[in-house]
Amino acid sequence: MGAESSLRGGTAAAFFDLDRTLMEGSSAFQFGRAAYRAGLMGRRQLVADAWANIRFRLRGSTDSDTEALRDRISASLEGVRVRDLERLGADVLAGVLPRIYPQMLAVAYEHQDAGRRIYIVTAASQELADLLAYVLRFDGAIGSRFSEVVDGVHTGRPVGQFVYRTGKAVAIAELAESESIDLAESYAYSDSESDLPMLRAVGRPVVVNADQALTRIARQEGWEVLRFERLGRRLKTAVALLGTAVAGGIGSAALSARARQAAERRSARRRPWQRRQRP
């Protein structure tokens, strides 16, 4: 638990990862869409982000993907005014809020009603995390700082702790220390193997829409498992339906061909008789 910062006797809390846990898909993609519409991102990068979002929803995150995303976001912010990013807030929310899992909100509010503080913990920006926490009425949020700011303008140089993998566990431990949170009695919710440090930092881990690696570990550890993600199931269903339609089309074509062949044979058999009947 890190320097015995579980602080037994303190207030318990519940920590929620954002992407694929609290919401469907990737918040980074929703930020990218808003940035593109505001002229802060090119079409090619938006298409790349869209494909990355689909891969993420199907198989979860990887360390290399996440680190590359952080570096790209940090670099892309060079020269951008803080004010311009703040103005993206409403557009980003318009993309994120419809994708919040109502089931997970219900879980969060149950914790809150039971006296536990609830927090968003995400590799996404601190600004987005704070905005979502305010709108969703969470008690707080922990996010990443992607770029140094000088005179109201982003420099593009990464700054502060990246709230990813061990960074999430460290950030939670620091919050527990400052807020007298009992981590041994607290909950954590996440979808990815990369969040094992966060899940193991609390006494009551829960996996949500888990990737294969985390699903296997959850079964071994006897952790609670929740699943709301539907994209993979929808794609499998679509492929099955497409296969059925193709098979049905082939079958129909074969039947039609057979019917035509039979009609031609009947017609050929009738023709000699028809010739004999002519005057």
**pLDDT at residue number 268:** 55
**Stretch 103-120: mean pLDDT, rounded?**
96
Is the pLDDT assigned to residue 131 strictly greater than 90?
A: yes
Burial 222-259 (b: 16+ CB within 10 A, else e): ebeebeebebeeeeeeeeeeeeeeeeeeeeeeeeeeee
Residue 43 lies in a domain: yes
Both 244 and 213 in one domain: the answer is no
In terms of domains, do 151 and 269 share one? no
Tell me which residue has tokens 């593009």.
156
H helical segments located in the chain: 27-37, 43-59, 63-76, 82-86, 89-96, 102-113, 126-136, 166-179, 196-200, 212-221, 231-276
Q: Tell me, yes or no, whether 159 and 255 share the same domain.
A: no
The model carries a pTM of: 0.73
**Does residue 163 share a domain with residue 136?**
yes
- The reported pLDDT for the residue numbered 156 is 86
Give the count of domains, the chain. 2
CA distance 75 to 161: 16
Establish if 4 belongs to a structural domain: no
| Catalytic site positions | 17, 19
Domain CATH for 112: 3.40.50.1000
**Residue 105 structural domain:** 13-229
Query: pLDDT by residue (tens digit) across 232-246?
Result: 444 443 333 444 344
| Domain match, 266 and 221 both | no
* Percent above pLDDT 90 for the chain: 44
In-domain check, residue 259: yes
In a domain? residue 136: yes
Is residue 135 within 8 Å of 117, Cβ to Cβ?
Answer: no
CA atoms of 279 and 254, how far apart (whole Å): 40
pLDDT at 130 over 80: yes
Whether 27 shows a pLDDT value over 60: the answer reads yes
5 in a domain, yes or no? no
Of 33-47, 131-145, 152-166, 238-252, which one has max mean pLDDT?
A: 131-145
